Amino acid sequence: NGKKEGKPQLDQFTYLTQFVWLCVFCMTFY
């Protein structure tokens, strides 16, 4: 169960990280 619960959490974390990375990339490009 713990693994199953951790999977969705990781997916959410990855999504958040991607968003932050995109913001940083945009800022750097600017």
Mean pLDDT of 20-26: 95
Give counts: helices (H), strands (E), the chain: 1, 0
Q: Give residue 13's pLDDT band: very low, low, confident or very high (50, 70, 90).
A: confident
First to last CA, the chain: 44
For residue 20, pLDDT over 90 is answered with yes
For residue 23, the model assigns a pLDDT of 96
Q: Is the pTM of this model over 0.85?
A: no
Mean pLDDT of 1-29: 82
